Amino acid sequence: METKGKILVTGGAGYIGSHAVVELFEAGYEPVIVDNFVNSKETALKGIAAITQQEFPCYRIDCTDKQALQDVFRKEQDITGVIHFAAYKAVGESVKEPLKYYHNNVGSLITLLQVMEEFGVNNLVFSSSCTVYGIPDTLPVTEETPVKKANSPYGNTKQICEDILTDLANSGSSQVKTIALRYFNPIGAHSSAQIGELPLGVPNNLVPFITQTAIGIREKLTVFGNDYDTPDGSNIRDYIHVVDLAKAHVVAIDRLIQGKAKAIEMFNIGTGRGNTVLEVVNTFEKVTGQKLNYEIGPRRLGDVPAIYADVTKSTQELGFKTELGLEEALSSAWQWEVNLKNSL
C-alpha cells in the first residue's frame, strides 16, 4: 500500500503517542512505534489495533540505547520523519530524582539526533511543553514570551532540549529540521475509549484524578487552592483534547515533509482558552452526571496561577486549529475510565 511515508514514533505506546499513531495512520502515514514501556502498557497497542484494524511494528527498546536505535533505523530503512514523545514527565519525581530525568529526557534526544543524522532522516517533531514559560508575566503566552527559569528539573529538560535543537539548527552543519510543539494541558481520550491516559500509581494530573475519584478509586479530589487572583480563585489552564493535540503532530509532520519548515520552529499547541480548576470540576459533573467528591485544599507548591496559549502563530503559520472542546474532552476521559473498569 502506498503511504505518505514511514514515521517513527518514540513513546508511541504512551498517552499522547498512542493517539498520534492513530491520527498518523488515518492521515495516510505508516507509523512505527518505539517504546520501552516504562510508563505504558501493551494494552495501548491493542487499543490502537482495535481502532485502526492494523498492527504496526513496535520495537521495545530504550531511546538512550544508541545501538538499539540504529538497529531500528537500519531495519526500517526508509523512515521519513520522527516524532519524539519518549520522556519522563512527572514534575514532582523530577525534583527528587533529577539525574533520572536529565539522563532520559536529554540523553534520548541527543542519541536520537545522532542516529537521525547518521541515517539521513531530517524531519523531527519534538514534544515540548508550556512549562518552558514558567510563571509568565503576561497572558496569553505567545511563542515570543520569554522562557523563564524552569521550576523543576523536568521543565529544565524541556528547555535544554529546545536549546539543543536550536543550537543544532544554528550550527549550519545539520540537515535536521525540527518543529517543537509546546503543549498546554492535554486531557481526554479517543472517542472509541480504546486508548487514553493510563497513569501508573496515583495520578499527578487533574483529569485522571477526577475520573478516578468519580469511579471510586480515589476518595476525593483536592482542589489545590481557591485563593489565587482568578475569577473563582482556582488555577487557570488551557486544556486541549488529546485527539486535537495528536492531529497537531500530523500537521507538523506534513509541514516538515513538504519542506515548508525552517530549521527550527516552536509552536504553542493549546485551545487559546483558559479554564479554572473549578470550571473543569463543574463541567465534568455536568457532562457525565457524576457527583464529584472534592474539597478545597492548600496551594500546591510550584503551581503556576494561570497560563493559557496565544494560538495566533500555530493557527496562521502551522495551519492548526482545535476542533473539540472541554465538554467533549471530559466526557471522553470519563468513557475511557469506565471502559478501563469494565475491562478489568
- Which residues are marked as active site? 154
Count of residues of this chain found to bind ligand WQD when the rule CB under 6 A is applied: 18
Among 15, 73, 267, 308, binds ligand NAD (CB under 6 A): 15
Task: Tell me the C-alpha distance between 131 and 126, whole Å.
Answer: 14
Q: Which residues of 161-182 are buried (b: 16+ CB within 10 A; e: fewer)?
A: bbebbeebbeeeebebbbbbbb
**Is 87 a residue that touches ligand NAD (CB under 6 A)?**
yes
**Is 206 a residue that touches ligand NAD (CB under 6 A)?**
no
Which residue's CB is nearer to ligand NAD, number 65 or number 296? 65
Smallest separation, CB 222 to ligand NAD (Å)? 19
Which residue's CB is nearer to ligand NAD, number 185 or number 234? 185
**Is 221 a residue that touches ligand WQD (CB under 6 A)?**
yes
Cell 495528536 -> residue: 246
Give the CA angle between residues 23, 24, 29 to the nearest 5°: 150
CA distances from 200 to 37, 212, 308 (A): 11, 12, 27
Smallest separation, CB 84 to ligand WQD (Å)? 14
CA distances from 13 to 9, 60, 74, 290, 336 (A): 9, 10, 21, 30, 16
Question: What contacts 310, CB < 8 A, 6 or more positions away?
Answer: 140, 141, 142, 268, 272
Crossing angle, helix 277-288 and helix 206-214, to 10 degrees?
A: 40
Among 73, 85, 239, 294, binds ligand NAD (CB under 6 A): 85
Among ligand WQD, ligand NAD, none, what binds residue 40 when CB lies within 5 to 8 Å by partner kind?
ligand NAD
Which residue's CB is nearer to ligand NAD, number 185 or number 288? 185
Residues 31-70 that bind ligand NAD (CB under 6 A): 34-40, 62-64
Find residue 81's DSSP bridge partners. 7
Among ligand WQD, ligand NAD, none, what binds residue 16 when CB lies within 5 to 8 Å by partner kind?
ligand NAD
Smallest separation, CB 162 to ligand WQD (Å)? 12
Grid coordinates standing for 144? Answer: 515570543
Q: Is the distance from CB of 222 to CB of 297 less than 8 angstroms?
A: yes
**Is 91 a residue that touches ligand WQD (CB under 6 A)?**
yes
Residues 213-272 that bind ligand NAD (CB under 6 A): none
Among ligand WQD, ligand NAD, none, what binds residue 127 when CB lies within 5 to 8 Å by partner kind?
ligand NAD
Q: Which amino acid would we find at residue 292?
A: L
Among ligand NAD, ligand WQD, none, what binds residue 221 when CB lies within 5 to 8 Å by partner kind?
ligand WQD
**Is 185 a residue that touches ligand WQD (CB under 6 A)?**
yes
Cis preceding linkage at 140, omega within 30: yes
**Is 156 a residue that touches ligand NAD (CB under 6 A)?**
no
DSSP string, 241-255: EHHHHHHHHHHHHHH
Number of Cβ within a 10 Å radius of residue 288: 20
Which residue's CB is nearer to ligand WQD, number 29 or number 209? 209
Count of residues of this chain found to bind ligand NAD when the rule CB under 6 A is applied: 28
Piece in contact with ligand NAD (CB under 6 A), picked from 28-36, 136-144, 209-217, 223-231: 28-36
Task: Tell me the C-alpha distance between 325 and 100, whole Å.
Answer: 35
**Is 129 a residue that touches ligand WQD (CB under 6 A)?**
yes
Question: What contacts 282, CB < 8 A, 6 or more positions away?
Answer: none
Task: Give contact residues for ligand WQD (rule: CB under 6 A).
Answer: 89, 91, 129, 131, 185, 204-206, 209, 221-224, 235, 237, 277, 300, 303
